[in-house]
Structure 1
Amino acid sequence: MIDRLRGEWQELRASVAGLSPNARRAAIVLIAATLLVLVHLQVGSRRFYRFTLDNPLGFEEAAFGAWAWWFGTQGIFGFVVPAAILLLAFRWTPRQAGLGLGDWKLALGITALYLPLVVIGTWILTDGTGFQEQYPHYLPARDDWGIFLTYEALFLFYWIGWEYLWRGFVLFGTAPAIGAPLAIVVQTVPFAILHAQKPPAEAYLSVLGGLALGALVWRCRSFWIAVPIHAAQMLILDWWATMRHRTGAEGIGLEALAQALGGT
């Protein structure tokens, strides 16, 4: 039995040794991404902040501090650490790591075309109680514009970490080994799974959104394009939900829109 196990071990080592450098790097990227998500869900969680660390950031409202902690740790585990792996451990250039500007003209053009659709789509979505009960995630932000703006600014760092982990680290880290089309699919899978607890419409749309964002990022050769698209999407969603809360606007027609905008 021992000889058989030794033989299996040697065969496994030979298989690993036979992997190409790109394949080994892709394996490291996928394992690292998995570990970073697990660490963030545990150490970066709002519950860990409030009940284990006891509000170390010193915010007057511990609940707000918990959201700041969640956003900040996502930025660190999703952007800072993965970028360091690609730039320092792999010795990739910023362009290879998806950190360059890429085709920024195309990116700006697509963003300009997409944002009006987001404004209309989020206006319609926030008419449902499922969205109004979840957004903004820190509900007191709906009643204080100062808190709302601070919350959204912190949220931006979260989006940089969230987008880079999938559309930067995993996409660019695996594409040399498995090709861009499959890498786009690979980064979509965990991205969509992490939307499982969202409202059904958002959860299912995350599959399409993951594929579309992955393809767009690869075409532009820069993950940065995904940040304003996703961040603006959430900011506008939060804003519409807040305006509906503050004004009581219901429905999606012009009368409801005028009522919501009248509350600014």
Structure 2
Amino acid sequence: MIDRLRGEWQGFRAAVAGLSPNARRAAVVLLAATVLVLFHLQVGGRRFYTGTLDNVLGFEDPAFGSWAWWFGMQGVLGFVVPALILVVGFRWTPRQAGLGLGDWKLATGIALAYLPLVIVGTWVLSDGAAFQMQYPHFYGAKESWTIFLAYEALFLFYWIGWEYLWRGFVLFGTAPALGAPLAIVVQTVPFAILHAQKPAAEAYLSVLGGLALGALVWRCRSFWIAVPIHAAQMLALDLFATLRARTGATGIGLDALMEALRGLG
């Protein structure tokens, strides 16, 4: 039996040794991404912060601290750690790791074309009572612009971590071994699975969104384009919901917008 197990182990080692360097790096990337997601779900959550860490960050409002913890952990585990693996561990250049500017002219043009759609769409959505109750997720952000800006800055760090983990680390980390088309599919799978608890329409649309964002990032050769596409939606929705809460503005017309904007004062 021992000889049998030894033979299986040697066969496994031979199979691993026979992998190309790109294939070994892809395996490291996929395993690391899995561990990072599990760690964030277990240790980076708001309940863990309030229940186990007892407001270790020392914020006056522990509820805000829990959001800061969640956003910050996603930024560290999704962006900082994966970037170090590729740049320091694999000794890749920032461009190889998807961290460069890439085709910034194309990316800027797409972002500028997309933002007006986001602004109009989120303004309309913010008129719904359900959205006003849901956004911003931390209700205290509606009561103070200082807190709102701090909350949104942390949320931006969250989006950088969220997008880099899939559209940077996994996409660029597996493409040399799998080829770009398959790497785009691979990064879509866990991204969509993590939307399982979302409403059905959003969950299924995440498959299409993951493929589209992956293709766009690969075309631009930079993950940065994905950040404003995701972050701008949440920032605009948070802002409009906050303005409506502060002013009581209802409706989607120009008069309602002018009334809501008074909340900036």
TM-score normalised by the chain length of structure 1: 0.91
Equivalent AA in structure 2 for residue 100 of structure 1:
G
Cα–Cα, structure 1 residues 8 and 17, in superposed 2: closer, same or farther, change >3 Å?
same
Determine helix, strand or coil for the equivalent of 2:86: helix
Segment drifting more, 202-211 vs 28-37: 202-211
Equivalent AA in structure 2 for residue 209 of structure 1:
G
Equivalences for residues 164-179 of structure 1 within 5 A:
164-179=164-179
Cα–Cα, structure 1 residues 26 and 3, in superposed 2: closer, same or farther, change >3 Å?
same
Post-superposition Cα deviations, 1:3-32, rounded to whole Å, max 9, x if no partner, equal: 444443333222222211111111110100
What are structure 2's unaligned runs of at least 5 residues?
none
Give the Cα separation in 2 of the matches to 1:235 and 1:189: 26
Equivalences for residues 47-196 of structure 1 within 5 A:
47-196=47-196
Equivalent AA in structure 1 for residue 131 of structure 2:
F
Post-superposition Cα deviations, 1:187-227, rounded to whole Å, max 9, x if no partner, equal: 11211222233344433332222222111111111111112
Cα–Cα, structure 1 residues 63 and 164, in superposed 2: closer, same or farther, change >3 Å?
same
Segment drifting more, 251-260 vs 162-171: 251-260
Give the Cα separation in 2 of the matches to 1:93 and 1:57: 34
What are structure 1's unaligned runs of at least 5 residues?
none
Determine helix, strand or coil for the equivalent of 1:56: coil
Segment drifting more, 222-231 vs 164-173: 222-231
Equivalent AA in structure 1 for residue 188 of structure 2:
T
Equivalent AA in structure 2 for residue 80 of structure 1:
V
Give the Cα separation in 2 of the matches to 1:201 and 1:127: 20
Determine helix, strand or coil for the equivalent of 1:41: helix
Residue in 2 aligned with 1:36? Answer: 36
After TM superposition, give the deviation of residue 136 of structure 1 in Å.
1.1
Give the Cα separation in 2 of the matches to 1:97 and 1:153: 24
Post-superposition Cα deviations, 1:114-162, rounded to whole Å, max 9, x if no partner, equal: 0011112222333444433322111121222221111001111111111
Residue in 2 aligned with 1:242? Answer: 242
Segment drifting more, 24-33 vs 8-17: 8-17
Segment drifting more, 136-145 vs 89-98: 136-145
Equivalent AA in structure 2 for residue 14 of structure 1:
A
Please say if residues 71 and 155 of structure 1, whose CA atoms lie closer than 8 Å, have aligned partners that are also in contact.
yes
Give the Cα separation in 1 of the matches to 2:198 and 2:127: 16
Equivalences for residues 4-15 of structure 1 within 5 A:
4-15=4-15
Give the Cα separation in 2 of the matches to 1:103 and 1:43: 36
Give the Cα separation in 2 of the matches to 1:124 and 1:4: 66
Give the Cα separation in 2 of the matches to 1:13 and 1:53: 41
After TM superposition, give the deviation of residue 68 of structure 1 in Å.
0.8
Give the Cα separation in 2 of the matches to 1:156 and 1:255: 30
Please say if residues 130 and 199 of structure 1, whose CA atoms lie closer than 8 Å, have aligned partners that are also in contact.
no
Post-superposition Cα deviations, 1:86-141, rounded to whole Å, max 9, x if no partner, equal: 01111111110011111111111110000011112222333444433322111121
Identity over the aligned pairs, expressed in percent? 80
- 1:25 correspondence with 2:29: no
Give the Cα separation in 1 of the matches to 2:212 and 2:10: 42
Please say if residues 131 and 199 of structure 1, whose CA atoms lie closer than 8 Å, have aligned partners that are also in contact.
no
Equivalent AA in structure 2 for residue 220 of structure 1:
C
Give the Cα separation in 2 of the matches to 1:195 and 1:189: 10
Cα–Cα, structure 1 residues 31 and 129, in superposed 2: closer, same or farther, change >3 Å?
farther
TM-score normalised by the chain length of structure 2: 0.91
